[in-house]
Amino acid sequence: MLKPLGDRVLVKVRKEEEKIGGIVLASNAKEKPTSGEVIAVGEGALTPEGKRQPIDVKVGEIVWYDKYSGTSIKYDDEEYLVIRAGDLLAVED
């Protein structure tokens, strides 16, 4: 499996019009942020003092991000997004 590096998060992109908790999501809208499930989380960026900056999201959480953030990776026939944690806009709770 892919392990994101540094302050990056691996997100499984949500398919269009997929329902989560009974709600049809607007992720198919043009020019809109999209959302997905966190699959893996990097160790965090390394500070000059040699510490890791913690990342605010956990595996399994649904995160929202801008359509133009991150880099798409196709791995093992599945569509993923590698995105810096700081580019994530919000998390569902």
Residues that bind a second copy (CB under 8 A): 1-6, 8, 10, 23, 26, 29, 32-33, 43, 46-51, 53-54, 56-57, 63-64, 66, 71-76, 82, 85-86, 88-93
CA neighbours within 13 Å on the CB side: how many for 55?
27
Q: How far is CA 63 from the centre of its chain?
A: 6
Distance of closest approach, residue 39 Cβ to a second copy, in angstroms: 11
Distance of closest approach, residue 35 Cβ to a second copy, in angstroms: 9
Which residues are within 8 A (CB) of 47 and not within 5 positions of it... i.e. 6 or more apart? 53
